[in-house]
Each structure stands twice: as structure tokens, then as C-alpha cells.
């Protein structure tokens, strides 16, 4: 026990010394500009980055149904591992355990029989702090649970070595002292067959009683090797500039820029012309004994009658179409602007406009038998070309 106290005291002094040297270190952020926790993604480091070595000592005990072990035995350990990401790591290690046991099975009684064990193990590490609070290299305290499997080798002065498998779990409390050194306190337990603790008899009929739990607390130092941090992946792609940049490349880019500027100016002129262009129209007119006309305006390229133009057609229906003399009929002539669109498209659009006017007239009560359709297609004349004319004949 005196040796254990000496070791733990030395580790505490080293920890306080390291912490005082690191107290003024500025913490790097684990949050974005809005204060939100950022958990990744992170760039993959090289193979030799983020390695560590840990060395420590502490005390152990053991709990079993038929085996009464001593508590406060010495435990020493040595580990080496690597962090693959800020949250996932692995290590391999050795733990040496020395203790005493009292055996009670109703027949045999052994008191104070000292024993030792070598435990070689592999551990899977999970940094809980980085997982939930985001990676921060300068965080003072990290909580790291782990699971482990390994092989136990029992020995004492009288018995030959006895190998057995063991499995367990633990919780590492990692305290940052500096960039390359941490203080840790490891709380763990190991489950192994009772035979691995020096007993080979049948202590109990229960299968569970053939296993023994070995709790251990150790403290020590972790030495971080090589590069110790992780870089957060940037979503901004770096600009790629051709190297070398020749005179021919410069002149080609200059000509391309001039062509694009010219194309841009032409597009601006076209947009301005379209803004100032009169809307497409449907012309509603009348000939014969009447000399009346009416217009219905359409949006460019459209055959849908707007509410405004419906008012014009309503006026024509009330004052002309509804008062047709016997023998009179209406001719709806559709047309489109020849300056825009293909000939085929203009013919289709002219027909669609004429039918739209006819359907509206029928909807408002004009007899379909008194309405004829004439399609002119694309003709010249801007607004005059893009209209449908209703003629009374």
C-alpha cells in the first residue's frame, strides 16, 4: 500500500505541474459562428498521427461467490493506442495484477495465498465528450468509456501458469495537462473464469459462480505522440489556377471575356425590347352592316384570356353578338406575330387564340352554330398581327 500511495502522489504532483503550465492555453472552438455545436466531418489523418502511450498504477480487488479475495492489491499497466477520429480509437495493453485470496469451499481452506496475473488485452475506445459536445483539442476533461477482451495468465509460487479468457469494460477520465501529456484515472472491471485466479476445483454447481469479477482503479500519464489534433473538413473547394499561365492562355481568356460581355449587352437590349413590346392581342371586329370592333389582349406566347380582356368581350357580346340580325354570323380570326416563333408555332398559337375567343362567346350564350373560325398564322405587324378579329357577316 505504501508503494501505491507513493506512485499516486507522484502522479498527482505531475498533474498539478502540467495543469499550471497549460492554464493559460486558449481553447479552440467546437462551435460555429452562430454558437451551434459542430461534430464534423473531419479529415482523415496520416497513419502515424494521433498515437499515444499510457503508463499507470493503482489498486485492484476481486469479487466471487466462493472465493474471498483481498482488496488493495497492486496493479500496474502499460497501453499503446491510436485515435482514428475524434470519437473512435483503439489500444492494446498489458496489466500486471498482484493480490491475495482466501478460498472457502467447505473442504479446502487457503488464507492469504498471494497470486499474480498478467492480462494482455485489446480495447475499443469511444470519446463520449467529443461525440456529444463536438471535438475540442484543448478540452480539459474528456470522458472515454471502453470495452476490452484479452487473455489472463495466472501464476504463484506453487502453481504452474494457467491461461484463461477475460472480458470487461471501463471508464477513462482524461485530464489535459498539455499538448503532449494528459493525466488519467481509469475505473474498470474484468470478468474471468475462477480458474484464472488459481482455483481449479468445483466450488459451486451454479455456472455463474465459476466466474470472478476483478475491479481495478488506476491512475497515470498519457503521452501523445506526433500530431495530436484533427482538422475539420472544409466544404469550400479551393480555386485552381493554371500554372504556368502563358501569354496564349491570357489572350484566350481575354477574348472569351470580351465575347461574353458582348453577348451580355445583346441580352440586355433584347430584354429591354421585350419589356417595351405591346402585349399579344385578340382583335374582335365586325363588318357588314355594322362597323364595330373589339380587342382582347393576350400575354406574349399565351392563348389565355385575361380578366381585363374578358370585360372587353363582355361588352361586345352585350352590344353586338346578342343582337345579331337573322342570317348574320360571327367569324373569329386568329393570328400571331411573324417576328417571333416559328411558322408552325405561330399557326398553332393563332388557332388556340381563336378557339379561346369562340369558347368564351359560347360560354356567354352565343350560339356555337353562328361562330366560324379562321386562322391566319404568323403575319407581320406587331400588335395588329397578334390578334383575333370577330367579324359579323
Between 238 and 321, the more confident residue is 321
| Pairing mode, strands 73-83 and 88-104 | antiparallel
Q: Are residues 208 and 285 in the same domain?
A: no
Q: Are residues 197 and 342 in the same domain?
A: no
C-alpha–C-alpha distance, residues 310 and 297, integer Å? 9
Q: Are residues 97 and 208 in the same domain?
A: yes
Burial degree of 359 (CB within 10 A; 0-12, 13-18, 19+): middle
The answer to which of 50-59, 188-197, 371-380 has the lowest mean pLDDT is 188-197
pLDDT of residue 349: 86
Q: Are residues 55 and 130 in the same domain?
A: yes
User: Does 239 map to a domain?
Assistant: no
Q: Are residues 51 and 184 in the same domain?
A: yes
pLDDT of residue 318: 86
Average the pLDDT over 164-168 and give the result: 86
Torsion of CA 249, 251, 252, 255, to 10 degrees: 160
User: Does 187 map to a domain?
Assistant: yes
CA torsion sign for 157, 163, 164, 165 is: positive
35, HSE (Cβ side, Cα atoms, 13 Å): 0
pLDDT of residue 60: 83
pLDDT tops 60 at residue 2: no
Q: Are residues 205 and 353 in the same domain?
A: no
Average the pLDDT over 337-354 and give the result: 84
pLDDT tops 60 at residue 208: no
Q: Which of 225, 244, 265 is the last residue of a domain?
A: 225
Q: Which of 181, 202, 225 is the last residue of a domain?
A: 225
Q: Are residues 109 and 216 in the same domain?
A: yes
pLDDT of residue 290: 43
User: Does 231 map to a domain?
Assistant: no
Cβ–Cβ < 8 Å for 129, 90: no
Hey, how many other C-beta atoms are within 10 angstroms of the C-beta on 145?
Answer: 14
User: Does 236 map to a domain?
Assistant: no
User: Does 267 map to a domain?
Assistant: no
Whole-prediction pTM:
0.50
pLDDT of residue 20: 41
| Residue numbers of the domain that contains 106 | 2-21+38-225
Supply the CATH number for residue 311's domain. 3.30.1330.60
Going by pLDDT thresholds of 50, 70 and 90, the confidence category of residue 305 is confident
- For all residues of the chain together, what is the average pLDDT? 76
User: Does 90 map to a domain?
Assistant: yes
Residue 365: DSSP 8-state: T
Tens-place pLDDT, residues 109-129: 445 566 678 889 999 999 998
Q: Are residues 202 and 117 in the same domain?
A: yes
Residue 203: DSSP 8-state: -
Cell of 75: 496493479
Between 112 and 20, the more confident residue is 112
Going by pLDDT thresholds of 50, 70 and 90, the confidence category of residue 383 is low
Q: What total number of domains does the chain contain? A: 2
pLDDT of residue 120: 92
Supply the CATH number for residue 115's domain. 2.40.160.20
Q: Which of 209, 225, 241 is the last residue of a domain?
A: 225
Name the E strands within the chain.
51-60, 67-69, 73-83, 88-104, 109-126, 141-155, 162-178, 181-193, 211-225, 280-285, 293-298, 330-337, 371-379, 389-392
Going by pLDDT thresholds of 50, 70 and 90, the confidence category of residue 291 is very low
> 3-class DSSP state for residue 85?
coil
Q: Are residues 108 and 195 in the same domain?
A: yes
Q: Are residues 107 and 173 in the same domain?
A: yes
C-alpha–C-alpha distance, residues 77 and 94, integer Å? 6
Q: Are residues 310 and 170 in the same domain?
A: no
User: Does 260 map to a domain?
Assistant: no
User: Does 266 map to a domain?
Assistant: no
Tens-place pLDDT, residues 131-153: 888 888 888 999 999 999 998 88
Q: Are residues 216 and 293 in the same domain?
A: no
Amino acid at each position: 500500500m505504501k508503494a501505491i500511495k507513493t506512485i499516486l502522489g507522484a502522479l498527482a504532483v505531475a498533474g498539478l505541474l502540467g495543469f499550471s503550465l497549460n492554464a493559460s492555453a486558449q481553447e479552440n472552438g467546437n462551435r460555429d459562428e452562430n454558437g451551434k455545436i459542430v461534430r464534423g466531418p473531419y479529415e482523415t489523418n496520416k497513419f502515424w498521427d494521433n498515437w499515444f502511450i499510457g503508463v499507470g498504477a493503482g489498486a485492484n480487488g476481486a469479487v466471487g461467490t466462493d472465493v474471498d479475495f483481498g482488496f488493495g492489491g497492486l496493479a500496474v499497466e502499460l497501453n499503446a493506442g491510436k485515435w482514428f477520429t475524434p470519437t473512435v480509437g483503439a489500444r492494446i495493453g498489458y496489466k500486471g495484477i498482484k493480490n491475495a485470496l482466501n478460498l472457502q469451499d467447505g473442504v479446502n481452506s487457503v488464507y492469504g495465498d498471494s497470486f499474480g496475473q498478467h492480462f494482455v488485452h485489446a480495447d475499443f475506445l469511444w470519446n463520449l465528450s467529443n461525440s456529444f459536445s463536438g471535438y475540442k483539442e484543448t478540452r480539459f476533461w474528456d470522458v472515454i468509456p471502453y470495452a476490452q477482451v484479452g487473455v489472463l495468465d495466472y501464476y504463484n509460487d506453487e502453481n504452474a501458469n494457467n491461461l484463461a479468457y477475460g472480458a470487461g469494460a471501463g471508464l477513462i477520465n482524461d485530464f489535459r495537462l498539455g499538448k503532449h501529456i494528459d493525466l488519467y484515472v481509469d475505473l474498470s472491471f474484468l470478468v474471468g473464469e475462477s480458474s484464472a485466479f488459481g482455483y481449479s476445483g468445483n466450488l459451486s454447481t451454479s455456472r455463474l459462480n465459476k466466474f470472478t469479477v476483478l475491479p481495478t482503479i488506476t491512475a497515470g500519464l498519457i503521452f501523445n505522440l506526433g500530431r495530436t489534433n484533427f482538422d475539420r473538413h472544409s466544404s469550400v473547394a479551393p480555386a485552381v489556377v493554371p500554372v504556368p499561365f502563358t501569354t496564349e492562355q491570357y489572350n484566350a481568356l481575354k477574348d472569351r471575356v470580351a465575347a461574353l460581355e458582348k453577348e451580355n449587352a445583346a441580352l440586355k437590349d433584347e430584354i429591354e425590347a421585350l419589356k417595351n413590346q405591346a402585349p399579344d392581342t385578340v382583335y374582335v371586329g365586325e363588318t357588314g352592316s355594322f362597323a364595330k370592333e373589339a380587342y382582347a389582349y393576350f400575354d406574349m406566347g399565351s392563348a389565355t384570356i385575361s380578366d381585363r380582356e374578358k370585360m372587353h368581350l363582355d361588352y361586345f357580346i352585350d352590344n353586338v353578338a346578342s343582337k345579331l340580325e337573322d342570317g348574320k354570323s360571327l367569324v373569329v380570326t386568329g393570328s400571331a406575330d411573324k417576328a417571333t416563333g416559328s411558322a408552325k408555332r405561330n399557326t398553332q398559337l393563332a388557332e388556340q387564340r381563336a378557339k379561346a375567343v369562340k369558347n368564351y362567346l359560347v360560354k356567354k350564350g352565343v350560339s356555337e352554330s353562328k361562330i366560324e373560325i379562321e386562322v391566319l398564322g404568323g403575319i407581320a405587324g406587331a400588335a395588329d398581327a397578334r390578334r383575333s378579329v370577330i367579324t359579323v357577316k
